[in-house]
Amino acid sequence: MSPKKNGNLIWFLIIKVLIVSNAQCSQSKLNELALNNFREYLRIPSVHPNVNYDKCVIFLRKQAQSLNLPISIYEVRPKKPVVVITWEGTEPEKPSILLNAHMDVVPVFPAEWKYPPFAAHMDEKGNIYARGSQDTKSLSIQHIEAIRRLKLNGIRLKRTIHISFVPDEEIGGKNGMKPFVATQDFRNLNIGFALDEARASSDNRFTVAYGERTVFQLWVNCTGKPGHGSILFDNTAGEKLRVVIDRFMDFRASEKAKLRDPKVQPGEVTSVNLDMTRGGVQVNVIPNELSVAFDIRIAPGVNHTKFENMIIGWLKEAGEGVNYTFIQKDLPVENTKLDASNIFWQAFEKACDNNGFKLYPQILAGASDARYLRELGIPALGFSPMNNTTPLLHENNEYLNKDIFLKGIDVFVKIIPAVANA
């Protein structure tokens, strides 16, 4: 090889190394920014009860400014803001894409945590401990950072993207997504497809939820003869309560037994949990009323009228003076179709197949705000890209590993263009 050709080759290699080095440096800075934003968001204690969302809104305004995108604040209920950051598409007349997650988190028991639950401490393994690390502040930041990377790469999408941050999902969305979808502001967003939350997966697959069980929560109230705690009266509230608890818990056991079959998913059975009790005034006084609250999630395909009639039968069996009141009773909602009739699912699945993302379609065991979208006929998938991760939603020491978090951003970088260009 001539000296000139040899010199050109050396310069070519130097330039190539510089390009690769700059790209790696840029990627490193983006990862650092994403982690800093994630941990900053986690440090905002948007925790129930009595959540103050002011700091969340301030944080999200800053994110919208960094993306150079418009932000809208809708307050359907006082002090319950719905925040929407919008990236307009090249064909904004097409139905848009909604990327949704909630700002609120469930209560904590600090004494049970290895680290303060709102410190966003990162240990030597890269595990970031904080309430909301899985449910769902990670998801919000992944949406933001994926859009940031797409914009920096000069990519334009056909459909408009709306990133939404909603309040009070953890208490049923009654002051958040539920009233918001009934507004003209929501209709103006022209949503055609939505991505919302799902659970982490302990293996290398990604959970994708196409439906969920129906929330059916109630108080059962048992009234009876009161009196001195030393006398064995007939017709006491406690005797009736025992029958009620036995019937509900026997049914619970029968549903739980179905899960012994490895082919049966948790979202395919009806769950029953006794969550609260109340009543009584003093240990030596037989109360005139005792009550118990059950959190029930009805599996898809169950006839709700027959299910409620079964409960009515149990209460009649317990005796007179036994009644029930609903805490929350949702209507059954049709699952999102995973077939050729859903162009967004086809685009989503193809993007995952092309990039080697293994999917685990399932019925979500809990409830999410996606149900309010499905009620309107909007196809919605629950998708939180957290694989190889122990699910810790609502548990003590909730954490997410930084590498899993960052990988999730890359996953959305592949998926968002696919569904937005469908």
Annotated catalytic residues are 104, 169
State the helix-helix crossing angle for 402-420 and 343-354, rounded to 10 degrees.
130
HEC profile of 364-379: ECCCCCHHHHHHCCCC
Largest CA distance in the chain: 110
Distance CA 383, CA 373 (A): 15
For residue 84, count other CB atoms closer than 10 A to its CB: 23
Q: What is the DSSP string of 125-189?
A: T-EEE-TTTTTTHHHHHHHHHHHHHHHHTT---SS-EEEEEES-GGGTTTTTHHHHTTSHHHHHH
State the helix-helix crossing angle for 237-258 and 304-318, rounded to 10 degrees.
140
Residues 336, 330 contacting (CB under 8 angstroms)? no
| Residue whose C-alpha is closest to residue 146's, from 421, 407, 419 | 407
Which residue reads 């209920």 in tokens?
77
Laid out side by side, the sheet with 359-364 consists of: 71-77, 80-87, 161-166, 96-102, 191-196, 380-382, 206-212, 359-364
HSE of 25, CA atoms in CB hemisphere, 13 A: 6
Distance CA 314, CA 324 (A): 11
- The amino acid present at 178, given as its one-letter code, is K
Say whether 318 sits in a helix, a strand or coil. Answer: helix
Report the Cα–Cα distance between both ends of the chain, in Å, rounded: 51
Distances (CA, A) of 170 to 42, 75, 414: 16, 18, 29
Tell the burial category of 189 from Cβ atoms under 10 Å away from its Cβ (0-12, 13-18, 19+). buried
